[in-house]
């Protein structure tokens, strides 16, 4: 009998990395592997990191996701077949104990990048407390196919991204990366 994991803890990353990521919550892939941002979303993050590394190597010195601190707005696993949810409830994210955990996870990082609505909510709760005045919070879409495909229709040059084209995901990730770098200006 296999043990069912109901929580997946943070990824520590390299000590010298000064950028941390907050995602929503662990899902089915993370439950199976015990590692955060696994599966397609993780692969998309690696592609995005290669784009960001070329533009801002001092902020994104590595192209691999596990070189960075990664945490979630909730450690609790959520996916449809497990608990009929794909994201944590707002009360789960804003619970004071959870916010303390998140603060502990990201304290000391200069750049905190949130991916998706739940991660942004968690970051906003942390910012309200005023405990991390030297950190820069940057916001991005979630990197799932659903989020990328439903919200990004044009590439960085303003051209329509053709559905199903060979490089459509890459072009969408370039747009998502630009959303992050535009906040640095």
Instruction: Give 61-115 pLDDT, tens digit per residue.
Output: 999 999 999 999 999 999 998 989 999 999 999 999 999 999 999 999 999 999 9
Of the CA atoms within 13 Å of residue 173, those in its CB half-sphere come to: 20
N-to-C CA span, the chain: 52
pTM for the whole structure: 0.93
- State pLDDT tens for residues 113-122: 999 999 999 9
Query: Is residue 1 one of the residues assigned to a domain?
Result: no
- The CATH number of residue 143's host domain is 3.40.470
- State pLDDT tens for residues 131-156: 999 999 999 999 999 999 999 999 99
Query: Is residue 67 one of the residues assigned to a domain?
Result: yes
Query: Is residue 28 one of the residues assigned to a domain?
Result: yes
Paired residues of 21 in beta bridges: 70, 113
Count of the separate structural domains present in the chain = 1
What whole-number distance in Å separates Cα of residue 77 and Cα of residue 58? 33
The pLDDT score that the predictor gives to residue 164 is: 83
Q: Which residue range is the domain that position 102 belongs to?
A: 19-182
Query: Is residue 27 one of the residues assigned to a domain?
Result: yes
Q: Using alpha carbons only, what angle is made at residue 128 by residues 137 and 177, rounded to the nearest 5 degrees?
A: 15
Query: Is residue 158 one of the residues assigned to a domain?
Result: yes
């Amino acid at each position: 009998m296999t043990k069912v994991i109901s929580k997946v803890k943070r990824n520590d990353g390299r000590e010298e990395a000064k950028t941390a990521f907050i995602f929503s919550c662990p899902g089915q892939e993370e439950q199976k592997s015990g590692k955060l941002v696994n599966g397609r979303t993780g692969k998309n993050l690696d592609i995005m990191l290669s784009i960001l590394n070329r533009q801002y190597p001092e902020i994104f010195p590595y192209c691999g996701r596990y070189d960075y601190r990664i945490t979630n707005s909730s450690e609790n696993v959520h996916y449809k077949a497990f608990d009929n949810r794909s994201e944590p409830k707002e009360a789960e994210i804003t619970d004071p104990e959870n916010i303390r955990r998140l603060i502990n996870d990201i304290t000391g990082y200069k750049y905190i990048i949130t991916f998706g609505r739940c991660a942004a909510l968690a970051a906003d709760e942390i910012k309200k407390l005023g405990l991390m005045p030297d950190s820069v919070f940057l916001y991005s879409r979630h990197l799932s196919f659903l989020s990328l495909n439903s919200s990004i229709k044009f590439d960085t040059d303003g051209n329509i991204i053709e559905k199903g084209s060979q490089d459509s995901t890459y072009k969408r990730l370039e747009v998502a990366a630009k959303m992050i770098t535009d906040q640095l200006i």
